[in-house]
Amino acid sequence: MGYYVPAGALGFSVVVFSTLACICIGFLFARRQIVGGELGGTKFGRNGSCIFLCTLWVIYITLSTLQAYGLLGDMSLGIDQTYVHREERCWTEA
C-alpha cells in the first residue's frame, strides 16, 4: 500500500503556490526599491507588509482547502480527463 495523491490536486496546489510566491517576490523587490530594504520603514509600511504577506498565505490555504474538498468545481483546466491515469495505484509491481 502507498499514499496516493490525485495529479489534479497536486497540480492545482503547485500552480497556486507558484503564483503567490511570484507575487511575494515581486512585492519584496518593490519594497526594496521603495523603502530601501525588506525590513524597516514606517509603522504603517511594516504593518501593511505584514498584512499583505499574511493575506497571501491565507489565500493559499483557503484555495487549497476548497480544492481538496471539491468546492471549486472542475479544476481540470481543459485537460481531457479520459486520457489521465486514474488507477488506484500508479506504480507497477515487479
Tens digit of pLDDT for each residue in 16-75? 999 999 999 999 999 999 888 878 788 888 899 999 999 999 999 999 888 878 777 666
pTM (two decimals): 0.69
The CA dihedral of 54, 56, 62, 65, to the nearest 10 degrees, is -110
